[in-house]
Amino acid sequence: MLSKNNEKNSKARILSKYEDMFVCPVCSSFMKVVNLKSFICSKHHCFDIAKQGYVNLLPHPFKTKYDKQLFEARRMISQSGFFDPLLARISEIMMENLQSESKLIKILDAGCGEGSHLSQIQQRIMDQSQCNLLGIGIDISKEGIHMASRGTSGKAIWCVADLAKCPFVDQQFNFILNILSPSSYSEFHRMLADGGMVIKVIPESKYLQELRGIFYKQSDRTVYSNENTIELFNRNFDLVELQRIQYGVTMENKYIEQLVRMTPLSWGASEELKQQVLGKDKLEITCDFSVLLGKKMSARRTN
Ligand SMILES: [Zn+2]
């Protein structure tokens, strides 16, 4: 078991090794790790490396409504295997689209939350290939990144950062993951390497339909459509493929509470309805996602 200081140092060393990928979020000049303690740009904007090894690259503090409890709930749900079929499929897609196993593959998880999606995907790919992977997870929530940097292994860098102004130089990433999270397409476009791929996951109409049915019996929130999201994606990237992934999960009581905490669906529901769900021994839950695979428009195939 690494001591906290060693853990910080090993993460800071990875950051130092790949410091060339970063630009200062204030002035866009190049960044350097100094004494494994600070990340400083050439114009002296300074960002401390936290004792957990992550770096907060927000120029100003930002408070999100996603708190520690929500990320703890998502990590528990993730560890229960809830997302496994989805993450397995994403890993397969990435392996099918690897251009070369010999060079370093750089993955950005944009809106990584507490980091378990990126960590699991990295682990799955490393288990099945000889790939050299670097994962970088960014999220605007400090609570999420704090948790990501503590509970995950593998070669990864975790940063608190603004999706609308990502602190990276152009054309860096072979894959940009954007899983159940808001997008910043102009930034994705700027950061994607030639031949790289954006993998965006969006919820589909049957996702959590059992919860939706209980919480929103009498309102139009029981159905929704993704048409606009897909159209917007397609306007920004060449949508090379859209894969629908559906599966069922039986949630035991101990996970039901975490699921309710994790999903914004429950935020507007009455306490009575919430208790009704929390009292169940088991709950069958439908997972229904679309995975959108996009490449840069300039790389549009002509056939
Ligand atoms: Zn600067």
| Tens digit of each residue's pLDDT (9 = 90 or more) over 46-61 | 999 999 999 999 988 8
Q: How far is the CA of 25 from the centre of ligand 1 (A)?
A: 7
d(C-alpha 39, C-alpha 33), whole Å: 4
Average pLDDT for 210-226 = 72
d(C-alpha 210, C-alpha 208), whole Å: 5
Q: How far is the CA of 289 from the centre of ligand 1 (A)?
A: 39
Nearest partner of 158 among 280, 242, 50, judged by Cα: 50
Q: How far is the CA of 40 from the centre of ligand 1 (A)?
A: 7
Confidence of residue 219 (pLDDT cuts 50, 70, 90): low
72 is in an annotated binding site: no
pLDDT above 50 (res 301): no
41 is in an annotated binding site: yes
112 is in an annotated binding site: no
| Tens digit of each residue's pLDDT (9 = 90 or more) over 157-204 | 999 999 999 999 999 999 999 999 999 999 999 999 999 999 999 999
166 is in an annotated binding site: no
257 is in an annotated binding site: no
Homologous superfamily assigned to 60-299 = Vaccinia Virus protein VP39 (3.40.50.150)
Q: How far is the CA of 39 from the centre of ligand 1 (A)?
A: 10
45 is in an annotated binding site: yes
What pLDDT was estimated at residue 299? 46
Q: What is the 3-state secondary structure (H, E, C) of the chain?
A: CCCHHHHHHHHHHHHHHCHHHEECCCCCCEEEEECCCEEEECCCCEEEECCCCCEECCCCCCCCCCCHHHHHHHHHHHHCCCCHHHHHHHHHHHHHCCCCCCCEEEEEEECCCCCHHHHHHHHHHHHHCCCEEEEEEEECCHHHHHHHHHHCCCCEEEEECCHHHCCECCCCEEEEEEECCCCCHHHHHHHEEEEEEEEEEEECCCCCHHHHHHHCCCCHHHCCCCHHHHHHHHHHCEEEEEEEEEEEEEEEHHHHHHHHHHCHHHHHCCHHHHHHHHCCCEEEEEEEEEEEEEECHHHCCCC
Residue with tokens 């999903």: 263
101 is in an annotated binding site: no
Q: How far is the CA of 97 from the centre of ligand 1 (A)?
A: 35
* Domains of the chain by residue range: 1-53, 60-299
